Amino acid sequence: MLDSRLVASEPDRIRANLVARRADDATIASVDRIVALAAERNALVQERDDRRSARNTISAEIGALMKQGNRDQAESKKAEVGANNARIAVIETTLGDVESELRDLCLRLPNLLDDSVPVGGGEDDNVVVKTWGTAPTFDFKPKSHVDLGEALGILDLGRAAKLAGARFSVLIGKGARLERALINFFVDTHTEEHGYTEILAPYIVWGSVAEGTGQLPKFAADMFKLAEPLNGQEAYLIPTAEVPVTNLYREEILDESDLPKRFAAFSPCFRSEAGSAGRDTRGILRVHQFHKVEMVWFSTPEASADAHEQLTRHAEQCLEKLGLPYRRMLLCSADIGFGATKCHDLEVWLPSQERYREVSSCSNYGDFQARRMDLRYRPTEAGKGKTRFPHTLNGSGLAVGRTLLAILENYQQADGSIVVPEVLRPYMGVDVIR
RNA sequence: GGAGGGGUGGCAGAGCGGUUGAAUGCGCCGGAUUCGAAAUCCGGUUUGCCCGCGAGGGUAACGGGGGUUCGAAUCCCCCCCCCUCCGCCA
In this prediction, residue A383 carries a pLDDT of 44
Domains belonging to chain A, first-starting first, are 4-107 (1.10.287.40), 123-433 (3.30.930.10)
Omega cis (within 30) before A217: yes
Which residues face A311 on adjacent strands?
Answer: none
In this prediction, residue A184 carries a pLDDT of 98
Does the CB of A7 sit below 7 A from strand B?
no
- The yes-or-no answer on residue A355 being catalytic is no
Residue pair A416/A151 in contact (Cβ under 8 Å)? The answer is yes
In this prediction, residue A228 carries a pLDDT of 85
> Residue A1, SS3?
coil
Residue A381 pLDDT greater than 80, yes or no: no
Please name which of A387, A370, A368, A391 lies closest in space to residue A378, comparing C-alpha atoms: A387
Say how far apart CA A101 and CA A103 lie, in whole Å: 5
The model's pLDDT over A401-416, given as tens digits with 9 standing for 90+, comes to 999 999 999 999 999 9
CA of A231, C1' of B81: distance in angstroms: 11
Does the CB of A387 sit below 7 A from strand B?
yes
Say how far apart CA A296 and CA A242 lie, in whole Å: 7
137-196 of chain A touching strand B, CB 7 A cut-off: none
Give the ipTM of the model, two decimals please. Answer: 0.88
Does the CB of A92 sit below 7 A from strand B?
no
Q: Which helix (DSSP H) or strand (DSSP E) does residue A398 occupy?
A: strand A391-399
Phi, psi for residue A326 in degrees, rounded to 5: -150, 170
Instruction: Spell A184-197 as b/e; 16+ CB within 10 A means b.
Output: ebbbbbbeeebebe
- The yes-or-no answer on residue A116 being catalytic is no
Q: What percent of chain A has pLDDT over 90?
A: 85
Q: Is A205 left (phi over 0), alpha (psi -120 to 50) or beta?
A: beta
